[in-house]
Every structure is written in structure tokens, then in C-alpha cells.
Amino acid sequence: MLDDSCVSVRREEERMLHRVDLTPKDPDLYRRVVDAKVIAELERLAAPLQGARVLQVNATAYGGGVSTLLRSLVPLYRGLGLDVDWRVMPGTPDFFAVTKGLHNALQGAAFDLTPERRELYLSHNREVAAALGGEGRYDLVVVHDPQPAAIRHFSDGVGARWVWRCHIDTSHPDPAALAFLEPLVAQYDALVYTMDAFVPAELRGRPLRIIAPAIDPLSPKSLPLPAELIAGIVEWAGVSLDRPLISQISRFDPWKDPLGVIEVFRRVRERVPGVQLALVGQMALDDPQGWAMLRQIQDETRDDDDIHVLTNFTGIDDVGVNAFQRASSVVLQKSIREGFGLVVSESLWKGTPVVAGRTGGIPMQMPEGVGGYLVDTAEECVERTVELLRDRAAAARLGEAGRRHVREHFLITRLLADELRLLGSLC
Ligand code: UDP
């Protein structure tokens, strides 16, 4: 049992905003993958921001796309000489259950945003805003996603200019969820969405930017790996190197349809005997729904030796994800809704073809004839996966075209340049 002092320490931790300390990273390192003039442009765009204090706030330092992006972007901002802090909003399981419900509702699911849930969300944001007040004044505050969106409403004098960065697919939101969030985000000086189609009509009049996310080719998740290491990791996880492998690498989330992936895999196996499936999932700290979903997947796959359910808790870290994306014959991303889906660009960067749901930010990563196939139904998903498993030359051509497309549009240097332009315009 916890004694009183433990309880008060825990309460204190729940109020604190954890600072993620990251060493500056020299942008020149990216000359390994992009032209020198790209780096020069970053330096030019950073110049007017020298001396400005910038704060990035999100809800988790670990798990999911937003923390992946910040983990790579913040060191690069610092490498450009900018004063950028990254703070993580604390939260209780009850708070994150509400914010996950709100997230799902903004992507179109039903969620009863009761007065108690609204109050929990708002009062916690109020507390976090008060804690931020002790940190001095920032010139720019960038707030990511709905979890901390209300801190702007409760913050007097914390930031001079505020940006709300929405990473989710809000093209078909639940009207009640949108009506709740809209007055809170309308107070920001700029809103950033991944696609124009995600911008709700109610927010069209606000200052707006469309900026797509990107992958970091020098992160452990995307660095080149020697074949021996790839083989070693995948075999260690229990996967045979002598048989074809399909993977889906995603949080365990209903929008990513992992149960649908299992069904597709079983139908593919009837036509391509020997094929294996890896479901690699990361348990994000702000996603309580992931645990229930993992249990469901485990129940469904317990007696199926061809399916490997792997997580960061069973040793599949960033290098492990990298190895699986490289070792797979086909990567699936059978999403029903998807803000962007970094995993698609991550896989394409490795030349691995992808079969993915035609939704949200995925199609921009895989235009017709590039990277693999977009699908609308489970049948199509089965057909296209079988096709790629059988025609390895076509699979390699699609993967290679995908890699070129990612190089051109979805590397972190492009994202950093877009963000520097936005921050420069606000400063
Ligand atoms: N990821 C990971 N380990 C896993 C599963 C996913 O590191 O077991 C990473 C994945 O490589 C990607 C991020 O989590 O970088 C997920 O981002 P994405 O945009 O695809 O989806 P989100 O989780 O933000 O909805």
C-alpha cells in the first residue's frame, strides 16, 4: 500500500511538466542524405529566430508519431542554435482515458463527452498551464494535439505567440467533440494541419498552415543496418528467415485495424503457405486503450505460431522496428483513419513495399504506382499482398519508387524548413 508521502510525491509528479533533455544535433550530419544547399537553407531560415525562446508541448515522450517527430526535431532546432524546450504534459490514467476518447471522437468515433469528462480535461489543462507559468515567458509555444490544447486558454503571459499542431485526421469529426475543442483552438495565433481536408469548416477563417510530417533518416529507426544485424534481430524475435514475412508496425489501436490485419494474413496464408506475420506495437504512455487492444490480439493469436506479437516490452526497440521494416517482404498499414502514418514513409525509405488503407495522410506518401498499393477493402488487401509476395521484381520496383518519393517529400529536413518558415512568420 502507498503511504501518504508516496501519494503526495505521485500527485506532485502528475502536476510537473517533464522536460525532455536532448543534446543539440549538427544539421550538417544530414549532408549524408540531402544536398548541402538544403542545410544552408535551414541555417538561413533559423537566423531570424536566434534568441527567441520556443516551447514544444505534447503528451508523451515515448510512443506514437508525435514523440518520434519531436525526438528528432528538437535536437536539430538546438543544433541550429535555437533555444527550444520540449515539455511533456503529465496526466492520470483517467485524464488520458478522456483524451483518448476525445482523440477518437475527433477521428469520427462516438464518445460521450459528459460534463464530468469535460471538467476533468479542463481542470487538468488549467493545472498544467499554471505549472507552465513558473517557467518564465516564451516567445513561441507549439502545442501538439488535443491533450494539452486547452493550456493556451488558461495561460496568461506564458507565451507571446501560440501554435496548435493537429496530427490527427479530423476530416469526419464527431460534432460534439469538435464543438468542444473549436473555441479552445480558435484562440491560437496559427493552426497547423497535415492536410487541407482535415481542417474543419469552423476553423477555416483562422491563420492556417498545411505541413506534412516526415521521417528522420539518421534516427535508429531508419539508419542503414548491416544484413547480419537485421537477420540477428528478426531471428531473435522468433521469426524464420527462410519464409516470407509480412509486418504491421503500429500502436495497438482500433484505427490501425490490427484484428483486420490478422484476418487478412490468414487469408494470404491460404494462398502463400509458409508466410509469417509480425505485429509490432509500441505501448504509448498516453494511450490506455493500447493495453486492452493488445490483450485482444494475444487472445486471437495465442494458438497461431505463424503470428508474432512483439512490443517494446519484449525487446523490439527503434533498431528492432528498423530491422523488421527491412526484413519484411511487405509492410501492411491497414488503417481506417490515419493522420499521416510515419510507418509508411519509414518502410518506403527502406525500399520495402507497402499495402495500406486509402485514408488520411497515407495516399500522399503513395501516389499511383509508387511504393505499393492503396486498398479500400480486406479483399483488396489480400489480393495486393499476395501479388507482391509472388512478384518480387514488381515489389522491388514499387519499393524503390517509394524510397525516391520519400527522399523528395518526407525527410525531416523538409519538415524543419516548413516549421522554421512558420515560426519565423510569427516572431
Ligand atoms: N513505432 C515504434 N515501435 C512500434 C510501433 C511503432 O517505434 O512497435 C513507431 C513507428 O515506427 C512510428 C511511430 O511509432 O515512428 C508511429 O507513428 P505513426 O505516425 O505511424 O502513427 P501514430 O502512432 O502517431 O498514430
The overall average pLDDT reported for the chain is 94
% of the chain residues with pLDDT over 90: 89
Q: Look at residue 241 in the predicted model and tell me its pLDDT.
A: 94
pLDDT-wise least confident of 9-13, 108-112, 156-160, 313-317? 9-13
The answer to whether the CB of 248 is under 6 A from ligand 1 is: no
Q: Separation of 276 CA from ligand 1 center, angstroms?
A: 21
Please write the tens of the pLDDT for every residue from 55-86.
Answer: 999 999 988 899 999 999 999 999 999 999 99
Q: Separation of 53 CA from ligand 1 center, angstroms?
A: 29
The answer to whether the CB of 65 is under 6 A from ligand 1 is: yes
Please write the tens of the pLDDT for every residue from 383-412.
Answer: 999 999 999 999 999 999 999 999 999 999
Residue 3 clears pLDDT 50, i.e. is over it: no
User: Rounded to an integer, what distance in angstroms lies between the CA atom of residue 116 and that of residue 119?
Assistant: 5
Mean of the pLDDT values across residues 283-305? 90
The answer to whether the CB of 318 is under 6 A from ligand 1 is: yes
Q: Look at residue 133 in the predicted model and tell me its pLDDT.
A: 84
Q: Look at residue 218 in the predicted model and tell me its pLDDT.
A: 98
Q: Look at residue 55 in the predicted model and tell me its pLDDT.
A: 96
Residue 9: pLDDT band (50, 70, 90) is very low
Are 414 and 214 contacting, i.e. CB atoms less than 8 angstroms apart? yes
Query: Does residue 136 or residue 317 have the better pLDDT?
Result: 317
The answer to whether the CB of 282 is under 6 A from ligand 1 is: yes
Closest atom of ligand 1 to CA, residue 316? 8
Q: Look at residue 62 in the predicted model and tell me its pLDDT.
A: 86
Alpha helices by DSSP H, listed for 138-256, are: 151-154, 175-185, 227-236
Q: Separation of 252 CA from ligand 1 center, angstroms?
A: 10
Query: Does residue 113 or residue 285 have the better pLDDT?
Result: 113
Q: Separation of 41 CA from ligand 1 center, angstroms?
A: 29
Mean of the pLDDT values across residues 189-211? 96
Q: Separation of 325 CA from ligand 1 center, angstroms?
A: 12
User: Rounded to an integer, what distance in angstroms lies between the CA atom of residue 417 and that of residue 331?
Assistant: 29
Q: Look at residue 17 in the predicted model and tell me its pLDDT.
A: 85
Mean of the pLDDT values across residues 297-314? 96
The answer to whether the CB of 346 is under 6 A from ligand 1 is: yes
Nearest residue by C-alpha to atom 2 in ligand 1: 282
Q: Please state the pTM of the whole predicted model.
A: 0.94
Residue 15 clears pLDDT 80, i.e. is over it: no
Q: Which residues pair with 2 in a beta bridge?
A: none
User: Rounded to an integer, what distance in angstroms lies between the CA atom of residue 388 and that of residue 377?
Assistant: 17
User: Rounded to an integer, what distance in angstroms lies between the CA atom of residue 284 and that of residue 8?
Assistant: 25
Q: Look at residue 14 in the predicted model and tell me its pLDDT.
A: 52
CA dist 371 to 161, 365, 367, Å? 39, 8, 8
Contacts 24+ apart (CB under 8 A), 124-128: 124/91, 124/92, 124/95, 125/149, 125/150, 125/151, 125/153, 125/154, 126/150, 126/154, 127/15, 128/15, 128/17, 128/89, 128/90
Q: Look at residue 8 in the predicted model and tell me its pLDDT.
A: 47
Please write the tens of the pLDDT for every residue from 223-268.
Answer: 999 999 999 999 999 999 999 999 999 999 999 999 999 999 999 9
CA dist 239 to 52, 66, 236, 328, 354, Å? 49, 29, 7, 11, 20
Residue 2: pLDDT band (50, 70, 90) is very low
Q: Separation of 395 CA from ligand 1 center, angstroms?
A: 23
Mean of the pLDDT values across residues 99-126? 96
**CB contact set of 345 (below 8 Å; sequence gap of 6+):** 214, 215, 365, 406, 410
The answer to whether the CB of 337 is under 6 A from ligand 1 is: no
The answer to whether the CB of 250 is under 6 A from ligand 1 is: yes
Residue 7: pLDDT band (50, 70, 90) is very low
Residue 132 clears pLDDT 70, i.e. is over it: yes
Please write the tens of the pLDDT for every residue from 25-49.
Answer: 999 999 999 999 999 999 999 999 9
The answer to whether the CB of 321 is under 6 A from ligand 1 is: yes
Q: Look at residue 277 in the predicted model and tell me its pLDDT.
A: 98
Q: Look at residue 11 in the predicted model and tell me its pLDDT.
A: 53
